Amino acid sequence: MPRCDGCGQSGFRLVIWRCLVCSKSGCHSCGNNWKFLYEDHRLDAAVCSQPCFMHWFWKVFPDYRAQVWAEFSWARGLDPGTINMLDMYLARTLEQEGNYGKAIAIYERYFLEQEVQRLRSYITQERDKLFERFRKENRWVNMDCPKCGALNKVGPETRMDVMASCYACGKMFDDFGLVGMIQRALGLVQSPTQTGAPASPDPGGAGQ
């Protein structure tokens, strides 16, 4: 006979689920604060508390980040609130790395016009600041082309139109890509290997 370890209730018709992280059990009587990770409330994919949710979140985030731009199956059917959290943290992480175009693509997907305008305004200001910096400082840096990997050497004598394309493959960089590349070359933003997880994102209802 099924028995819930949380409240002690038992019965042949009792539905019990177990926390995906700590294996604690729960039922409809004591599991009001649990969070189901998938829309279909599958019993093998629930977490019993916010700490367990955050543990799961940080574990799956690298895979989610790696596959979100391509076809993948493991995240299909995830609870919309959980996908929202993954996407918002991904957007913030991309900002930290200088991948502004991809960050804006996520904000546009959620119709977050204020975030889009914030980033666009920032990019315009940062582009002008970087070019002014090159004019004032006798400093040259190597920007790596994201398409072919070639190193593009830029400095105080480089025109904006020349800097905005790869000399090797001819790829044109928009302001988002260009600013991010220059910032990474100067060490002004974190690279993907430097970016770490912050204390925790807003759980957005985790444990509710």
In a domain, 121, yes or no: no
CATH number at residue 25: 3.30.40
In a domain, 45, yes or no: yes
Please report, as a single letter, which amino acid is at residue 199. A
In a domain, 27, yes or no: yes
In a domain, 129, yes or no: no
Tokens encoding 103 = 């960050």
In a domain, 42, yes or no: yes
Residue 178: partners with Cβ closer than 8 Å, 6 or more residues away: 127, 163, 164
Closest CA to 65 of 81, 83, 80, 79: 83
Note the pLDDT of residue 76. Answer: 80
Number of domains the chain contains: 1
The 10s digit of each residue's pLDDT in 154-169 is 888 888 888 899 999 9
The 10s digit of each residue's pLDDT in 22-80 is 988 888 877 778 999 999 888 888 999 999 999 999 999 998 888 876 655 667 889 99
> Domain limits at 20?
1-56
pLDDT band at residue 99 under the 50/70/90 scheme: confident
Predicted TM-score (pTM) of the model is 0.72
- Parallel, antiparallel, or unpaired for β 46-47 and 35-36? antiparallel
In a domain, 17, yes or no: yes
Residue range 107-117: mean pLDDT, rounded? 95
What is the SS3 assignment for 142? strand
In a domain, 16, yes or no: yes
In a domain, 196, yes or no: no
Note the pLDDT of residue 70. Answer: 63
Distance CA 98, CA 73 (A): 28
Note the pLDDT of residue 13. Answer: 80
